[in-house]
Structure 1
Amino acid sequence: MVRFTPSRAIVGLPFSVSDKLYNCAAVLHRGKLLGIVPKIFLPDYKGLDEKRWFVSGSEICNDLYEIKFIDHTVPFGKLLFRNDQYDITMGVEIAEDLCSIIPPSSYLALRGANIIANPSASSESVGKAQYRKKLVEQQSARCNCGYIYAEAGVFESTTDMVFGGHCLIAENGVILKESERFQRKSSIIYSEIDIERLAHERRSNLNLSGDYKYDLDKKYRIIEFNFIKNFVISSNNLERNIEQHPFIPSDPFTRNECCKEIFHIQTASLAKRLEHTGSRKAVIGISGGLDSTLALLVTAKTFDLLGISRKNIEAVTMPGFGTTDLTYTNAMKLMKALNVSVREIDIKPACLQHMKDLGLDPNEHDITYENLQARERTQILMDLANKIGGLVVGTGDLSELALGWATYNGDHMSMYSVNCGVPKTLVKIMVKWVADNLSDDITKKILYNIIDTPISPELLPPDKHGSISQKTEDTLGPYELHDFFLFYSVGYGMTPKKILFLANTAFKGKYDSDTIKKWLKYFYKRFF
């Protein structure tokens, strides 16, 4: 079978060298035996007595680099299998090697292995599968690598041991695919491992290029191999799942824990800033939109943690030319529900005076018309903060900052921004989390009303029905797309071509390719 497949196969076998028996893995490719790797750590506990039969390969690997196998000279010992075309370097460890304090895969990763394969005959017991899964997750994360784990199947069970055929494919701490155990038939799982993404992570993780002097004596031999054809992956045959909202965990429990952690980080960081500056007052502009809502919720909780009255929070709503009854009402209700000090300052007279001073036509709704409102609001907040000795808490989120969707010297400025690391898609989830977990019924209802309100800077007049006329996503594009682009471009250094491919896969059936490409180009135009 191996002779006619472009894939590599790894087969476990006992192998005798100098009258000693070793538990080994043979790596085969296109009918050729590339090398044999011996197991290092042999279990001898809880009914496992591997040392009764085998010898550890730790010593022989330092002395022997080749062996004779059926009239062929075959590489043996510490081996790395390298393919330059796809930048793949694979290392092999066997079963219990993974459970050791410093697994062989750690040394393999330090020497460039970005994929670790582990053929295993790990028996089943209650809770062991979850333990095994955690080991694979953690080791793939620790080594910034792909990890392929394949366990003996049920038909290899003995009188004393049961095997479940547990197979796992992990990438940098994430399980991509997992088989169902105890199948009474052969099973196989597939997934892609993103080598480019792993390479980006490794360039960022200096631990993998650190000074590990204790391992300088370990020499590894590199075995080159080639594929017989080029592999082309399309969005139609991609095995791994690409989430539409990568900033938001899809699992409800994980999402809840993530929101809880983010909220704690926000409050802890603001608390530290207030303590460091000695300030016991804060000023924050409230529009009735998502960003200012989350910032006010964070600020209120922070003051609770510090034992400071919420009345020391000066929450200011500043109606302008585009303010609607809906957002104004939401803002007023929220401030009162959170029991903060409420101020209302109408910016229209000041803005009209400013236009008059500059000779501007108030009926010309251009970029100056919009930005002067944002700058007027920021001036009010800054001056008020100076007067009371407080900090202006910024409300802008990560997506707005990445896209430059803020007014220079306006709302992009503050004395401390609590949302600057939270993307827009996650802001909505965060507000919902606070509503569901930290709010009374009245506040919860207000927060849900805010969640249902269209995203808008409200710098242009309402429509004839008094509703929001300026909707951000009509101009900027869907935030879920921009957050997707942001996640992969900044987070993993991916090329526009690759991001487009992933977006087409993730949003298939929701946006066509031309629409995604349009907003991707717009993302890069605004980002740079």
Structure 2
Amino acid sequence: MKVTVAQLNPTVGDTEGNLKKILDLLPGCEKEGSELLVLPELFITGYPPRDLLEKRWFVRRVERALERLSEASCGYPTLGILVGAPMRTGKRHGKGIYNSAMLIKNGSVLASVHKSLLPTYDVFDEDRYFDPPSSIEVVPFNNEILGLSICEDAWSIPELGLTEYDFDPIEQLAKNGATLMINLSASPFHTGKEELRYRIAKYHAARHSVPFVYVNQVGGNDELVFDGRSLCCDKHGGLISLLPSFTECVRTIDTAKSGSPESYEPEERIKSVHDALVLGLRDYAGKCGFDKAVIGLSGGIDSAVVCCLACEALGSGNVLAVSMPGPYSSKESVDDSRVLANRLGAGFKVIPITGVCKSYLEALAPSFDSLPADATEENLQARARGNILMALSNKFGHLLLSCGNKSEMAVGYCTLYGDMSGGLSLISDIPKTMVYELARYINRKGGTIPRAILEKEPSAELRPDQRDSDSLPPYGILDAVLELYLNEGLSADEISERGYDKKTVEWIIRTVDRNEYKRRQAAPGIKVTSKAFGMGRRMPIAVKY
């Protein structure tokens, strides 16, 4: 069968815009002789629609879009259109909505199939909105029997460590006689996931001796980035076609062709992270109505990386970098920031904060009652910078990007309403050690980021001769422990058994836990690891354990 895979970038809630993307494809599909156009999961709404699904007016809007798509299909009578959308169950009990795939042809809905496995782990909340179907059926279409599934339905494979469920919808479709498997997906990116998806498609194809078509969404929606990387395997698991990462792509594939078992190569990890952040920022800004960004450029590695990513995502002329030297800032930090901004072609301003901080301290002096200086005075500097950046954001309509990394966010080495201020925390899921990897990747074709920034010891420059190492373990140790605690869920004893100092481990875990209140107030961040702070990690604040 000739199948057109449409790896597209929807906007959540924009049923009209998402429908237009489909309608624009129909003439090309007809010209190529395609028999079936396949869109990603919930494409009409964009994924994830979240509580929009609880709005009756929104569901009616979806239904009107599907009616228009059905009408438009009459102009292309030989083409089937397989599209993901929510569908009312018609039942009085339950959530009242299915996560569905609808097969439309020549003005009619030939079949509707519904997602069986509704994930509730990590960033997923599907059991909150959807009901599972009572049965799984195949769909005869042209000369094939289609086994249609939706995203998670393919993720029940104990042999690959996917043991969340005791039921395999793909196996049931094979038993029902499917001759071609098609999976509509909206699978968000994190490092290592692309290769796992390929192994899933290959496994199902080879196990059941049927071709497997996998169609994934691409684009950024809030914290989530979807990398696409749609693919088709032949009945032996050989790769027929692999679509690119992080970009829209429409390709017509002949599922009868033979693939190659040796042709798959995953994207380089740090390249994928870089591209995910660029696409995530570009779509977050664009879909929220921003075309310009403002960044506090400190002269350190984190803000340098964020500035480079912003220039790539939005264009250098749409980025304003602001250096805000304070009483303990080095001249080199300002100079390095200026060099970076000039190399990038970004706008650059210097707004000193020493006078602002002095005014704060004079106003607070009667209340502070001659108490010794401590972190309060340091945080005042960070908050002065945050206020200045927010003022620029308000005045000129720029999106403020905060520059804290995952290591700092984990242990609260950041200031509420200071350097945490912003509309998007771009690298909040990037450990400090990976920030350096990103910097080296950015510099792969030349020295965009000055060597002085790459080589200087990290410092917040909020007190004389301050270094991050004064307050934190070495980042190599901190990031390794955070990986074991946050991502693998190990206890302090289990982590210590891996060779880490127990007191250091206990301090890290204790500090992570007591800073939940800070992270709850942080700007949303782009998820790139398997366990990010935010919607995928839901810890209580007022807690004792």
- TM-score per shorter chain, which class? 0.3 to 0.5
* Pair member with larger Rg: 1
User: What's the TM-score once normalised by structure 2's chain length?
Assistant: 0.46
